[in-house]
Amino acid sequence: MTSVLTRWLVFGEWRAHPLRALAAIAAIALGVGLGFAIDLINGAAFNEFSAAAKSLSGQSDLQVRGAQPLFDEKWYPQLARHNGVVLANPVLEIDATIPGQRGALKIIGIDIFRAAALAPDLLGVPAADQPFDTLADDAIFLSPAAQSWLNVKPGDTLRLQSGTGTIGLRVAGGIVRARPGQRIAVMDIAAAQWRFGRLGKVSRIDLKLADGVSRDAFRNALTKEFGGALLVTESADQEARSANMSRAYRVNLNVLALVALFTGAFLVFSTQALSVLRRRSQFALLRVIGFTRSLLLRQVLLEGGLLGALGSLVGLAGGTALAALALHYFGGDLGGGYFPGVRPSLQFNGVTAAIFFVLGTGIALLGSLAPALEAARAQPAPALKSGSEDSALARLATPWPPLACLLLAALLTRLPPVFELPLFGYLAVALLLIGGIALMPRLAVVVFTALARRGQRTTVSMLALARLANAPNQASIALGGVLSSFSLMVAMAIMVSSFRVSVDDWLVQLLSANLYVRSASSGDTGAMKPAEQTLLAALPGLDRTEFLRTLPLTLDPARPAVVLLARPISVSAPEKTLPLTDDVIDARKLGPGVLPVWVSEAMLDLYGYRVGQQVRLPLGANAPPFMVVGVWRDYARQSGAVQIRLADYQRLTGDLDVTDAALFFQPGVGTDQIIKAVRALPFGSAVEFADPGEIRAISLKIFDRSFAVTYLLEVVAIVIGLFGVAATFSAQTLARAKEFGMLRHLGVTRRQILLVLGAEGGLLSGIGILVGFVLGWVISLVLIFIVNPQSFHWSMQLHMPWGMLVSVAGLLLVSSALTAVVAGSRAVAGDAVRAVREDW
């Protein structure tokens, strides 16, 4: 009997109010679906990237690398003869620039005799009649994905860029084994060194240790032996580096999914609270005939749990489909470019699916807890009386719990990140939302009571304010829906707008030249030699030319490489070149033998750099100490970057090549004239051009594409908020059918009642919008000044998008009023006598 009654109550409620149930299910499904899709995409991409990285290192136990991309091969004989080493395999990795292509081809130069024992998957497969192609100086072997990408086949000639010239290599065959989608090429290491101007250089040396040798002990001993000249790493370091690089981006996407899940939890609460209020007398009758409190508590929790379970199932299915589509059309880089060169395939993870199912269902149960406790606590006799609904929500008006949430949120913003993630910042945002929403009943009492006491001139305004002032707790449920959706929209809009404006201003300051020339848009084989730099700088019509050299530096094997930028920087006025923060010291006052360096904000958080601190950079055995003299904003590299003067870099390293040139025109000189002059140079056909406006437009387009999911969630938040308003007013107006019938008997027309409902919806939305704006602004401050710096290690300026905020507020206000009218039209459609028949 109990199970039959339980099913009857559940399905009867859903049949009576399908819109409310569907809105709650959709919100839960959205949060679960987004979170599950993000996890599937990242898991597939990370696993494939790790597998690809392991295939390149083969069966090696350790890898010896330099802090710079290349180091002297003189270390190879020493390592090959080292005690405990069975086999040492030198490797040269090159990201070759391909003329006419945006991407680079990873070329791996190997010693086939060493690689055959350590990394056999990398061996080239020559034609049967040309077995010595693996040693030929003009032969290259391509993976299937690389052949398809470059549209070449064995026997074709592949043109690659070296410096500002090109070289032709013969495609001699494929590779023994490569991961699906892995674009790699293999050639003899000596040929690669010669062809690409890297004689005497290697990228790493793979080591196979003897049986019984402890890997950790050998690694520590070798690190001490090198004294910091080289880095000893293993495959786990590469995986950690990849995970650290994408972690902040991945976590922030998951937080966006949790935002949708939070909204879903509130909709479940709203749905269950209104359902409990509407069925208050029914539950009391059940209690009278023997339904216990525990059974009633389980009934309400079951209804909420079913909403969460259905939403979670729909979300898991939708998330799987979304992940499959994203991997097929966009790859697995999550929009951030963290996993290049792989083609991951979707792998359903049952454990993760179970976690997200439990999370979605648990959130729904949590949202149902307060209504369930109220249904169980209600005394049958008072609950049987009509008009006691609002008193059942009296606990919602208690101000102390929400004030405690707001105070705790303020305290959490002062705490540091955990594992380099702003966990306390996220928790502060959640507490601000909970505290703000929970404070609405008290605020509704104060505001609507004050408005009602002022006296009203019209029947509509009098009835609307009387209802809101005397039943504020029910009204606050709808108010909370508007508040949660609008405050989140405001917070995300302010954060994204502030970020976009900051990036735009940053680009304007950085892109001060009239034209930029690059030796290659991708890869590391394009460079301009000193003679070519001289020809470029001597072109007529140029006021001056500034050259730039970029180079990755590995300061920590477990972290992504730091980017070194060497360029002309005036020590007397570095702010003309760099977007500096306020923390700067005068580089002209440095002591003898100390060179200045300017670091990005990420270096402060990741490596503990401070202005005035002396640091060492791996720029040669005799590199002097550097002093951090300033901090600059860098929105392009969250893993850290340092800038030094180009003359200092060239003197320390002897590397005179550059990768970029900034051209400043003389007055009256046009861009077309300079481009034509550069094209006429011997190397002019190999370089690429970009003017500041083009770079800025492309950068902002990439920015908008990266935040497309944020814009989508803003729209979804507003739509969900309107669904909440519709569900709330639909339930309340049906429950108020007798009230409307009595008003009809007193002479109030249907039109006036609909105007009352519209006024109630407008007033509720108005106060929700005002408070939501304040709450959203506070949350945006946490996002801008706490979450973003701790996640991505950069700061930004606050910018308010007033136009968009006012437009959305007006649209939401009108939509809420219309939604309330449409939702309540059913309650006044019937006959007035039938509406009050129960009171006869």
Which residue, 273, 463, 473, is CA-closest to 374? 273
The residue with tokens 């009098």 is: 462
Tell me the pTM.
0.83
Look up residue 260 and give its two tokens: 């949708």
Residues 546 and 672 in one domain: yes
Rounded to whole angstroms, the Cα distance separating 73 from 200 reads 6
Residues 303 and 416 in one domain: no
Helix then strand then coil, % of the chain, to nearest 5: 60, 15, 25
Check residue 727 and give its pLDDT: 63
Check residue 645 and give its pLDDT: 95
Residues 743 and 806 in one domain: yes
Phi-psi region of 2 (alpha: psi -120 to 50; beta: other; left: phi over 0): alpha
The number of helix segments (H) and strand segments (E) in the chain equals 29, 22
Residues 380 and 450 in one domain: no
Last residue within a domain, chosen from 387, 408, 428: 387
Looking at the DSSP bridge assignments, the partners of residue 567 are 645
Residues 249 and 228 in one domain: no
Which residue, 62, 57, 68, 106, is CA-closest to 86? 62
Query: Chunked in runs of 10, what are the mean pLDDT values of the chain (840 residues)?
Result: 73 74 79 82 74 76 91 93 93 91 89 90 90 92 92 94 91 89 91 94 94 90 86 75 66 70 70 70 75 82 87 92 81 58 74 89 82 74 57 63 91 90 89 85 80 74 78 64 78 90 91 91 86 94 94 87 94 90 86 91 93 90 89 90 95 92 94 94 90 87 73 67 64 67 77 82 83 92 91 89 89 79 68 52
Number of domains in the chain: 4
Rounded to whole angstroms, the Cα distance separating 548 from 201 reads 23
Question: What is the distance in angstroms between the CA of the first residue and the CA of the last residue of the chain?
Answer: 33
Q: What angle in degrees, to the nearest 10, is found between the helix axes of 708-735 and 235-278?
A: 20
Rounded to whole angstroms, the Cα distance separating 552 from 123 reads 28
Check residue 633 and give its pLDDT: 92
User: Which DSSP symbol is given to 839?
Assistant: G
Residues 612-656 have pLDDT tens digits of 999 999 887 788 899 999 999 999 888 899 999 999 999 999 999
Q: How large is the greatest C-alpha to C-alpha distance in the chain, in angstroms?
A: 104
Last residue within a domain, chosen from 334, 360, 387: 387
Rounded to whole angstroms, the Cα distance separating 608 from 600 reads 12
Q: Could you count the other beta carbons within 10 Å of the beta carbon of residue 586?
A: 12
Contacts with 481 (C-beta within 8 Å, 6 or more apart), sequence order: 266, 267, 270, 720, 721, 724, 725, 728, 768
Instruction: Assess contact for 95 and 161: CB atoms under 8 A.
Output: no
Residues 618 and 671 in one domain: yes
Check residue 601 and give its pLDDT: 94
- Give 754's Cβ-side CA count (13 Å radius): 12
Burial 658-688 (b: 16+ CB within 10 A, else e): bbbbbbebeeebeeeebbebbeebebbebbe
Residues 400 and 457 in one domain: yes
Instruction: Assess contact for 84 and 210: CB atoms under 8 A.
Output: yes
Domain of 131 in residue numbering reads as 62-233
Q: Is 262 exposed, middle or buried (0-12, 13-18, 19+ CB in 10 A)?
A: buried
Last residue within a domain, chosen from 176, 210, 233: 233
Check residue 839 and give its pLDDT: 45
User: Which DSSP symbol is given to 558?
Assistant: T
Residues 531 and 679 in one domain: yes
Q: What are phi and psi of 339, to 5 degrees?
A: -130, 70
User: Which DSSP symbol is given to 560?
Assistant: P
Residues 32 and 75 in one domain: no
Residues 412 and 489 in one domain: yes
User: Which DSSP symbol is given to 618?
Assistant: -
Residues 479 and 428 in one domain: yes
Check residue 243 and give its pLDDT: 64
Rounded to whole angstroms, the Cα distance separating 266 from 437 reads 10
Residues 520 and 643 in one domain: yes
Contacts with 502 (C-beta within 8 Å, 6 or more apart), sequence order: 633, 635, 796, 797, 799
Rounded to whole angstroms, the Cα distance separating 551 from 321 reads 40
Look up residue 170 and give its two tokens: 């013969």
